[in-house]
């Protein structure tokens, strides 16, 4: 892999595990149970790309664009600045549930997402055209793949994800990230298929030994990453006003012993 095709994520806890960077043409799944920090990590990855003036598309299934903007603002990341600079665009596949439409210029509103999977590839591509993207720029964030797959025929939904990996990650060198919630009964068995498709997998969990004691401490690891060396050890992290931050093990042991 040539160095120009590798990119730092801009999230220190992730960059420490990928010393020379992630291949630009990667489709990465952030996977874990509810509450383990998947969306916070996704938002930090989004902010890191925006800081580098890379256009980003955030596809909302689990929440509205306004809610995502509020979460970004809570970290002090000033999303309005990037929206006004035409660097951040939303595809809203959530608000239809409340029978609300969205006519804001930085939002593409989907009136009825159920069964529209065949159109979403074209919608993403046309959103990129608004950015006049060059190769090796930009990122797509899909939050979440779980919700997407509950709204469509499973086989066709998985085929759509394969298409996005081929058309956006591989053909255009655009980073793609998606969250996936484990433990959803209708999607049992889908996790293994997605793991096979993905170029990278970031696992998030509650550390099991502390959890048995009633203490919820978050960990993440790079389980898989094609095309670049990576460390697969579990590392502790927390979510602060500055996003996702690593925690020293000695500090954790001291705090939990008090």
> What mean pLDDT comes out for the span 195-224?
95
The mean predicted confidence, pLDDT, of the chain is: 88
* Percent of all residues in the chain with a pLDDT value above 90, rounded to a whole number: 66
CB atoms within 10 A of CB 109: 17
Q: In which band, very low, low, confident or very high, does the pLDDT at 258 lie, cut at 50, 70 and 90?
A: very low
Bond prior to 115 in cis (omega within 30° of 0): no
> What mean pLDDT comes out for the span 24-52?
96
Bond prior to 144 in cis (omega within 30° of 0): yes
Give the 3-state secondary structure of residue 221.
strand
Select from 3.30.1370.60, 3.40.50.1370, 3.40.50.300, 3.40.190.10 the CATH code of 3-257. Answer: 3.40.50.300
Distance of alpha carbon 241 from alpha carbon 75, whole angstroms: 5
Helix (H) / strand (E) containing 225: strand 218-225
Higher pLDDT, residue 238 or 189? 238
Place of tokens 């030994």: 209
pTM of full prediction above 0.95: no
> What mean pLDDT comes out for the span 85-92?
93
Give the 3-state secondary structure of residue 90.
strand
């Amino acid at each position: 892999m040539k160095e120009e095709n590798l990119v730092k994520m801009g999230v220190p806890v992730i960059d420490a595990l990928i010393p020379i960077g992630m291949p630009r043409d990667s489709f990465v799944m952030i996977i874990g149970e509810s509450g383990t920090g998947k969306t916070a990590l996704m938002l930090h990855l989004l902010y890191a790309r925006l800081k580098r003036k890379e256009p980003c598309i955030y596809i909302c299934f689990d929440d509205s664009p306004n809610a995502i903007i509020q979460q970004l603002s809570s970290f002090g990341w000033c999303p309005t600045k990037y929206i006004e600079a035409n660097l951040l665009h939303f595809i809203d596949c959530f608000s239809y549930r409340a029978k609300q439409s969205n006519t804001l210029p930085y939002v593409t509103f989907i009136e009825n997402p159920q069964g529209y999977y065949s159109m979403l590839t074209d919608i993403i591509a046309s959103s990129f055209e608004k950015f006049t993207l060059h190769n090796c720029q930009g990122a797509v964030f899909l939050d979440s793949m779980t919700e997407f797959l509950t709204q469509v025929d499973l086989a066709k939904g998985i085929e759509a994800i394969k298409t996005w990996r081929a058309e956006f990650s591989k053909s255009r060198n655009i980073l793609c990230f998606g969250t996936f919630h484990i433990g959803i009964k209708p999607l049992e068995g889908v996790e293994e298929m997605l793991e096979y498709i993905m170029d990278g997998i970031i696992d998030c969990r509650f550390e099991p030994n502390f959890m048995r004691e009633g203490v919820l401490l978050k960990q993440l690891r790079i389980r898989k990453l094609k095309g670049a060396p990576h460390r697969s050890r579990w590392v502790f992290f927390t979510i602060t006003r500055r996003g996702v931050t690593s925690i020293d093990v000695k500090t954790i042991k001291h705090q939990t012993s008090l």
